[in-house]
Structure 1
Amino acid sequence: MFSPWRQVSEMFSYIRRNNMAKAALEMAVWDLYSKLKGQPLSAVLGGKRSEIEVGVSIGIEDSIETLLNRVEGFLENGYKKIKVKIKPGWDLEPVEAIRKKFGDQIPLMADANSAYSLNDKQLLKELDQFNLMMVEQPLAHDDIIDHAKLQAEMKTPICLDESIHSAEDARKAIEINACKIINIKVGRVGGLTEAIKMHDLCEENNIPVWCGGMLEAGIGRAHNIAIASLSNFSIPGDTSASSRYFDEDIILPEVTLSKPGIITVPEQPGIGFDINQELIDKLTVNEQVYKRDTVTFY
């Protein structure tokens, strides 16, 4: 049976990169298709979970005290993973402070956002003492070779993010042991179709994955919830409640925690949320309508 999202992917195949734009259109087709089938998007994608565990990402704070207060608040809210950003000069000290205050057992990871190089290898190896879930993308944003060299000397799992744009990128990284975990961001990889390919490849190779966040509004957040219901998304993602970032989200109802650190996967057809058209109309500053012939999916 010919799949509409595969048709969309093939239409885009001659276009290099521009993954965010491709993802926006391809994800809309997945939503439409699942609504036509009368099934939730998670089920159409092959999801198995009715609930997903979620965590939060904490940026570079003004002080250790502020950081510790924020971690404490998120732990009280039940989030299942704490991700802290690190950079040269803000790395070992904040991680050590969190461990000293909250213990070795809280699910803690560090995200370096490509801030280091192999010249920092000895410093990065010091992170091993803190029992981290992972250190995310410590080296260059487009690298896998140096990450393989670093992973060979680190106990802490390296998670690749920015350098993985496709299942083919993931295959190469896995083959050279550049990482032990991969972060799948649907927008970064060009849509749900590629995200599923990456998920399946990683599952076959015993590489756990998780769904990263990119400050999505409600529509993107809903797609993240759906993809995170797949079996190999075994690490809590960054898809927190709408109120974590927005006074008002553009969906109804907004994304909320059904239990501490838990989001329930919608059972309604499609993404499971309605568009808050009244809010979108209020915020719209310009509008352009494009029309073309109807495309029939078979």
Structure 2
Amino acid sequence: MKIDKVIIQTLQMPLKFAFETSLGKLVEKDFLLIRLYADGVVGYGESVAMPYPIYNEETTGTVLHMLEKFLIPALMGRSIEHPDEVSQLFAFVRGNRMAKAALEGAVWDAYCKQKGISLARELGGTQSEIAVGVSLGIEPTVDKLLEKIDGYVRAGYKKIKVKIKKGWDIEVIRTIREEFGYDLPLMADANSAYSLDDIDHLQQLDPFKLMMIEQPLGHDDIIDHAKLQAQLSTPICLDESILSAEDARKAVELDACRVVNIKIGRVGGISEAKKVHDVCAAAGIPVWCGGMLEAGVGRAHNIAITSLSHFTIAGDTSASNRYWHEDIIAPEVILSRPGMLAVPEGAGIGYELNEKVIAKHVVAERIFE
């Protein structure tokens, strides 16, 4: 498969509601849509980087720079036998995993379209449907949060994730449990809002029988999470700390976590995400797919990776209308039944682009050939 041309479009799309975490608040998502042309097919990729370096060091701007100056030149005109080769071609660039993942995802899509096979099947996916949950940000009031949870419970979502921070944690979780009981699959995501000085405070979450508490300590830490896990009965899930399969191996060996959140962009692409999955499967550590407020292309890649056998916990890849007034793909991602998404069977990601929606939100375009 020879790469002939790449088009990058910058889009700005308003979210249906403000999404707030301990890191800040987003009301609009700017992202890059990638079209990769190879031997008569077009593969689609999406950058999941935020407009500001609040989740990791990357931004939409840095991703565009790395694509233009380093990653696209490394691919242009090359013949690729298999998408797994892309990570090796990009190895000369340190970090910049979201930039790498965006372009690698387009290669995977084009490769599968050439073979006439779905991305999920090519990856070895075994599930025809995947269970999904929702991620809820920090709301203006607890009552507003309870109202939203009630709506998603009624819609059949399989997991409720709530963002927490100091001052919005113990009593919030207590109120949720009092309102919905202990059968509700509930987890808390801290986005690195705590330190080891907060052990006594975090232990107050143990009685609420959460599925997990996600990334309570530093975004780049594994060691202190091992110390904290030893003091908690609640499983720790690592997100930001796991940048590769090697990170996953070390975290498992140190008992720094008992669950891993896999995000394609965070680990540098689909190939590495599958390796993280395999490491965790061998160790018996459950995994799930986290979300980065993806539009339709990124959402489709998440569905494909989640079809792998060891994704045993409902992920964050909810329906398109959860976040967007209209999505950039057709058809949009919809629930196949309450709390479930069907894994597309069509070639590649299984969705086409909705050019009318894209045209409304494109603010820039660059062509490389």
Q: What SS is found at the alignment partner of 2:363?
A: coil
Q: Does 1:228 align with 2:306?
A: yes
Give the Cα separation in 2 of the matches to 1:160 and 1:148: 11
| Within-5 A mapping of 1:9-88 | 9-88=87-166
Give the Cα separation in 2 of the matches to 1:133 and 1:147: 17
Q: Does 1:139 align with 2:217?
A: yes
Q: What SS is found at the alignment partner of 1:227?
A: helix
Q: What SS is found at the alignment partner of 1:285?
A: strand
Q: Where is the strand percentage greater, Structure 1 or Structure 2? A: 2
Give the equivalent residue in structure 2 for 1:89. Answer: 167
Aligned AA (2:297): I
Aligned AA (1:101): E
Aligned AA (1:22): K
Deviation at 1:81, TM superposition (A): 0.2
Aligned length: 290
Give the Cα separation in 2 of the matches to 1:109 and 1:147: 17
| Within-5 A mapping of 1:75-154 | 75-154=153-232
Give the equivalent residue in structure 2 for 1:179. Answer: 257
Aligned AA (2:169): D
Deviation at 1:281, TM superposition (A): 2.5
Deviation at 1:278, TM superposition (A): 2.4
Identity within the alignment, %: 62
Give the equivalent residue in structure 2 for 1:242. Answer: 320
Match of 1:201 among 256, 265, 279: 279
Give the Cα separation in 1 of the matches to 2:312 and 2:297: 23
Deviation at 1:140, TM superposition (A): 0.6
Per-residue CA shift, 1:198-256, capped at 9, x if unaligned? 00000000000000000000000000000000001000000000001111100000000
Per-residue CA shift, 1:64-117, capped at 9, x if unaligned? 111111110110010000000110011000100010011001100000000000
Q: What SS is found at the alignment partner of 1:248?
A: coil
Match of 1:166 among 244, 250, 270: 244
Per-residue CA shift, 1:231-286, capped at 9, x if unaligned? 01000000000001111100000000010100000011110000112222232232
Q: What SS is found at the alignment partner of 1:213?
A: coil
Give the Cα separation in 1 of the matches to 2:142 and 2:356: 41
Give the Cα separation in 1 of the matches to 2:174 and 2:125: 37
Give the equivalent residue in structure 2 for 1:252. Answer: 330
Q: Does 1:213 align with 2:258?
A: no
Give the Cα separation in 2 of the matches to 1:139 and 1:105: 27
Give the equivalent residue in structure 2 for 1:290. Answer: 368
Aligned AA (2:101): A
Q: What SS is found at the alignment partner of 1:52?
A: strand
Deviation at 1:153, TM superposition (A): 1.2
| Within-5 A mapping of 1:241-280 | 241-280=319-358
Greater alpha carbon shift after TM alignment, 280-289 vs 199-208:
280-289
Give the Cα separation in 2 of the matches to 1:74 and 1:157: 24
User: TM-score if structure 2 supplies the norm length?
Assistant: 0.78
Give the Cα separation in 2 of the matches to 1:116 and 1:283: 37
User: TM-score if structure 1 supplies the norm length?
Assistant: 0.96
Per-residue CA shift, 1:132-155, capped at 9, x if unaligned? 000000001110111000101111
Deviation at 1:6, TM superposition (A): 2.0
Give the Cα separation in 2 of the matches to 1:225 and 1:287: 27
Deviation at 1:3, TM superposition (A): 4.5
Give the equivalent residue in structure 2 for 1:294. Answer: none
Give the Cα separation in 1 of the matches to 2:346 and 2:90: 29
Q: What SS is found at the alignment partner of 2:341?
A: strand
Aligned AA (1:205): A
Give the Cα separation in 2 of the matches to 1:242 and 1:103: 28
Aligned AA (2:312): S
Q: What SS is found at the alignment partner of 2:92?
A: coil
Give the Cα separation in 2 of the matches to 1:193 and 1:289: 26
